[in-house]
Amino acid sequence: MKHILSIVVILLLAQACDAQKIRFTDTSNVWYYTFTRAHSNGQFLGEYQGDSLFNGVTYLVMRTPPFALGIRLVREDSINKKIYVIDDTSEKLLYDFTLEVGDTFSYISPTGVINYHIVNKVDSVQIDSIWYKVRHFKNISGGFPYTVIDNIGCTGGITFPFWTYTTTVYFQRLNCFFNNRSKPIMSNAISTPYGLPFTNTDSCYVSVGDVVGEKDDKVSISPHPVTSVSTMSLPYLMKEATYTLYNAMGQKVEQRTIRNLDKLQLQQHNTGVYYYIVSDEVKGKAYRGKIIFE
């Protein structure tokens, strides 16, 4: 009888720990990245921006750094411990938190390249005194190795498994992670694809959306909703930047290079809600927001 009670207690404790764990789809999560692109450096963040229905299923809308996957729809299968995303019009597996050493699988990147992966090591890390598994992956196709923390994601970026870059021109790494407006404390450092450890102790970039700043530090659109004469006023003269526009499904519908401009004439698009990212590649700043087209 005592033996049965002990088993019951252990199971209850395990369930309690699982209930306290951070979930990948916790809407308070914010991922901060350091990125290098050519000779410029900067930081971007990934965060949830509400939810959306797709084929009758509710997904969270995730906004990730530019040069990655843009806006994506995300859902969690908590029973099978898997994370799915909508890539263009189809659902794909992003993370499987049940994989063990030797398990192999493949990803088809947005560019159509098939990347084959294998789990070559599994260990653990304590985050806020709760244990999480850490899986170390090797890209058999020749890309960078990478690491995934259960319920938090890849240290090379949320969507890194789809974009395992093999050049030195561009890379990104997880700089710090917030849950419920605070940084979870980690017991030890975790490797990233580029040899720089993730400790969750680095300083974090604060996005323009988090800052109550001066008027000239914001992007403004006038008139808005957008008409044929609308312009976007930038916070300052940008020497080299990129303007990217996504529709509500996360599909890129427009991208333009900005050179020595402080205003941008907006092009017309189909009626609806869109999201923009203006990325200053010189100063490493990103400005993002919502645009409504009539």
What integer is the mean pLDDT of 159-181? 66
Angle, CA of 46, 48 and 52, to the nearest 5°: 135
Whole-number Å distance between alpha carbons of 27 and 205: 19
Task: Kindly tell me if the per-residue pLDDT of 2 is higher than 60.
Answer: no
Residue-level pLDDT at 4: 52
Q: Find, among 106, 113, 111, the residue nearest to 140 by Cα.
A: 106
For the stretch 264-285, pLDDT in tens is 999 999 988 887 878 777 776 7
43-57, 203-217, 248-262, 264-278: segment of lowest average pLDDT: 203-217
Residue-level pLDDT at 166: 37
pTM of the model: 0.64
Task: Kindly tell me if the per-residue pLDDT of 158 is higher than 70.
Answer: yes
Q: What value does the mean pLDDT of the chain take?
A: 77
What integer is the mean pLDDT of 147-170? 70
35-49, 160-174, 181-195, 258-272: segment of lowest average pLDDT: 160-174
Whole-number Å distance between alpha carbons of 31 and 77: 21
| Maximum alpha-carbon separation in the chain | 78
83-92, 118-127, 278-287: segment of lowest average pLDDT: 278-287
- Residues above pLDDT 90, as percent of the chain: 30
What integer is the mean pLDDT of 219-226? 91
Whole-number Å distance between alpha carbons of 163 and 161: 6
Whole-number Å distance between alpha carbons of 116 and 134: 19
Task: Kindly tell me if the per-residue pLDDT of 196 is higher than 70.
Answer: no
Spell 235-253 as b/e; 16+ CB within 10 A means b. beebeebbbbbbbebbeee
Q: In what order do the strands lie in the sheet with 220-222?
A: 220-222, 231-238, 261-265
50-59, 71-80, 161-170: segment of lowest average pLDDT: 161-170
Residue-level pLDDT at 182: 85
Copy the structure tokens of residue 10.
């252990």
33-42, 105-114, 221-230: segment of lowest average pLDDT: 33-42
Whole-number Å distance between alpha carbons of 209 and 288: 7
Q: In CATH, what is the architecture of 208-293?
A: Sandwich (2.60)
Residue-level pLDDT at 81: 95
Domain residue ranges in the chain: 23-178, 208-293
Residue-level pLDDT at 95: 92
